Structure 1
């Protein structure tokens, strides 16, 4: 970032030097060159060419707030219409700098073409160009700070959420420890409080582990242990791991896989992602319902082959306003249900990052009260030879083992 700023500063300096030289020549040949109302200098001059290659918006204005130069980036931002500024806040900034001779800046939120309703944030820096002891011109530089502001907001939210999530089990453990101390003469109460302490301790440990996992997934590390992975295998492992939870809740888990599909990546991570989806489906489903795990080959409109691994349930569903947020860290559709199940709010965020790191994506379809389907899409790496020509394999698990 420091190098980029230095290069931009150098280019702006070069452009301004060339522009100042052009102004000097124009004033020195006042009898030969038309005055300030003449058309701007040809676009091929050094100042215009230098400004045109910058990835920041630059506008140069004279004392009458007339835009003498505006590079393509500034034009696309629509802060200049012809030779006039379009925003009153920019005019006020220019007047302030012209009067005081001191550089100043403001932050703007603009809607730009091609970005839909999304606003783009710019830091606008106004710098005076002295001319004979007074401000002759003012340069406006527009730097896009949208990503920086969004990242700062995400960081603040993340720190606040982590603090809250860690505080809850820690506070519970403290209170339970005090309760155990006060009930030292009551073995039954001690046993009851100790059980609750164990649950809170497990939840705390799971939260810390998932935070570590999420931090590692968001890092810049190369994907470890890449290789061909059988989709049948990771689906089978996820279903098998859900056996105990399914038995406890009376949920039937059905596997239906298109055999022989292979993807490339890290088997442990993909198993974790699919396991999270299956565990969520079971946790948010009522008793005596079904959760299905399916895998199939799909070809998109561009002719690219993908493997879709879908986990569908007959649970409570997700309201439409929540669909765009379910993959956010710590976001929970049902806070009370999450507390009851010991959820941390990180499971789906981990799924999203694992899918992205493998060149894929994860999506959700849901209707409130009618269940949800989470689909993890991964690039197809190939097909394994099939020993059994049967097109599909089906396995069912439930509280009452399928016989």
Structure 2
């Protein structure tokens, strides 16, 4: 039976470009990072304080940052082509989602701490406080919701110039919705910017003058994930005080 071309999945041209660029960059960067790490591991103790060693260390750190940025591009381009038929919905434990997303952020920044009733990691620096009934569940694609939570947590950390960064993950029910929320004590968002933050490549950067790392794709990605789930996303923010972003999932 001939293929119906009209029913083929449409691919956003911009997403196709992002996917191509990210994949083209990934291989050469992995080689650069691999050789840099190998050279650093072979340095003798007396060589580690030389200019060359310090330069290699800086190259390695910047290479790791680029690798993270490219992974985010790959992730965005992959999710942007998904439809409701592509995702795998199931009953997912919310506290488990919160804990795994927080743990992923801890791996990227070991100054973070997680506080919950069943596990506490004590370190100096920002804290992620988890508040959720152990039995709470949502009907969703576990991998995609994890991505959304990690993006929101990353933003809560990056856009926060407080000495003590406080982040809360909490769950509640409202009417026919299960709600996952991320609250922070960061810089907040001006009212006129709230309608813009979900656009691709947009960043609210008043406090940091262009120094925030990232593509400005995180919240656009979160919105796509919520659209696929037929859910919604809402923002409450007070500029200079903090922000609460809520993900509203329909009950099964």
Length-normalised TM-score, structure 2: 0.69
Where structure 1 has 5 or more consecutive residues not aligned to the other structure, the ranges are: 4-150, 178-184, 300-304, 382-403
Match of 1:226 among 55, 76, 89: 89
Shift of 1:338: 8.5
**CA 295–338 in structure 1, closer or farther in 2 if over 3 Å, else same:** farther
Mark the structure with the bigger radius of gyration. Answer: 1
Q: Give the equivalent residue in structure 1 for 2:117.
A: none
Q: Give the equivalent residue in structure 2 for 1:92.
A: none
Q: Deviations over 1:306-325 (max 9, x none)?
A: 11111111111112222111
> Distance between the aligned counterparts of 1:278 and 1:186, measured in 2?
35
Is structure 2 residue 181 aligned with structure 1 residue 310? Answer: yes
Q: Give the equivalent residue in structure 2 for 1:246.
A: 112
The two structures, once aligned, show a CA RMSD in angstroms of 3.3
Match of 2:143 among 238, 258, 268: 268
> Distance between the aligned counterparts of 2:102 and 2:58, measured in 1?
29
Shift of 1:220: 4.3
> Distance between the aligned counterparts of 1:334 and 1:249, measured in 2?
26
Q: Give the equivalent residue in structure 2 for 1:255.
A: 130
Q: Give the equivalent residue in structure 2 for 1:296.
A: 172
For the Cα contact (< 8 Å) 2:179–2:246, is it kept in 1? yes
> Distance between the aligned counterparts of 1:269 and 1:227, measured in 2?
12
| SS of residue matched to 1:242 | helix
Match of 2:228 among 341, 347, 357: 357
> Distance between the aligned counterparts of 1:218 and 1:362, measured in 2?
17
Q: Give the equivalent residue in structure 1 for 2:99.
A: 236
For the Cα contact (< 8 Å) 2:157–2:165, is it kept in 1? no
**CA 219–249 in structure 1, closer or farther in 2 if over 3 Å, else same:** farther
**CA 186–239 in structure 1, closer or farther in 2 if over 3 Å, else same:** closer
> Distance between the aligned counterparts of 2:167 and 2:203, measured in 1?
20
Shift of 1:186: 10
The structure carrying a bigger strand percent of its residues is: 1
> Distance between the aligned counterparts of 2:209 and 2:171, measured in 1?
28
Match of 1:209 among 41, 60, 71: 71
> Distance between the aligned counterparts of 1:281 and 1:356, measured in 2?
22
Shift of 1:273: 0.9
**CA 334–249 in structure 1, closer or farther in 2 if over 3 Å, else same:** farther
> Distance between the aligned counterparts of 1:220 and 1:273, measured in 2?
14
For the Cα contact (< 8 Å) 2:235–2:245, is it kept in 1? yes
Q: Deviations over 1:239-271 (max 9, x none)?
A: 333343425771222111134232222211111
For the Cα contact (< 8 Å) 2:48–2:54, is it kept in 1? no
For the Cα contact (< 8 Å) 2:177–2:251, is it kept in 1? yes
Q: Deviations over 1:11-60 (max 9, x none)?
A: xxxxxxxxxxxxxxxxxxxxxxxxxxxxxxxxxxxxxxxxxxxxxxxxxx
Where structure 2 has 5 or more consecutive residues not aligned to the other structure, the ranges are: 7-11, 37-46, 114-122
Length-normalised TM-score, structure 1: 0.45
Is structure 2 residue 190 aligned with structure 1 residue 319? Answer: yes
1:2-401 matches, cutoff 5 A: 155=14, 188-221=50-83, 222-243=85-106, 244-247=110-113, 250-285=125-160, 286-299=162-175, 305-334=176-205, 337=208, 340=211, 342-381=213-252
For the Cα contact (< 8 Å) 1:246–1:282, is it kept in 2? no
> Distance between the aligned counterparts of 1:186 and 1:237, measured in 2?
36
| SS of residue matched to 1:329 | coil
> Distance between the aligned counterparts of 2:140 and 2:229, measured in 1?
6
Q: Give the equivalent residue in structure 1 for 2:40.
A: none
